[in-house]
Amino acid sequence: MPGGSPDIEDAEKVMCASKFPVYVKVEEGKQYYYCTCGRSKNQPWCDGSHSGTKFQPMAWTAPKTGSVRFCRCKSTKTPPLCDYSHVGLMSSCCSGVSVQTGGLYVPKH
């Protein structure tokens, strides 16, 4: 995918952005756009890298001001928040193993 759209083969797959969550300070009432494809260079936020895939960003409004733990492995059952799903992925995350219900999973290059 260097410098362009994802390969057709990878366009339908979720990509592991990181094995670990990221803590981000958010502002109450502000809307954020969470990356659902794993391709964004601005994790956990969408930067438009999903173009050419079936993925769209997920709108999320901060319920209060503070630090929030966001998922980057893209396997959480509570997106965009981390539910510690990455703990079960430590040996398989970013290895090409299918880990998301109903979705395919590929390593981030």
CA 53 to chain centre: 14
Domain span at residue 74? 1-109
Question: Most distant CA pair in the chain: distance in Å?
Answer: 40
CA 22 to chain centre: 11
HSE, side-chain direction, 13 A CA sphere, residue 26: 23
- Alpha-carbon distance of 84 to 69, in angstroms, equals 10
Domain count, the chain: 1
For every one of its 109 residues, what pLDDT tens digit does the chain have, with 9 covering 90 and above? 444 555 555 677 888 898 899 999 999 999 999 999 999 999 999 999 999 999 999 999 999 999 999 999 998 999 999 999 888 766 554 544 434 444 444 445 4
- Alpha-carbon distance of 76 to 34, in angstroms, equals 13
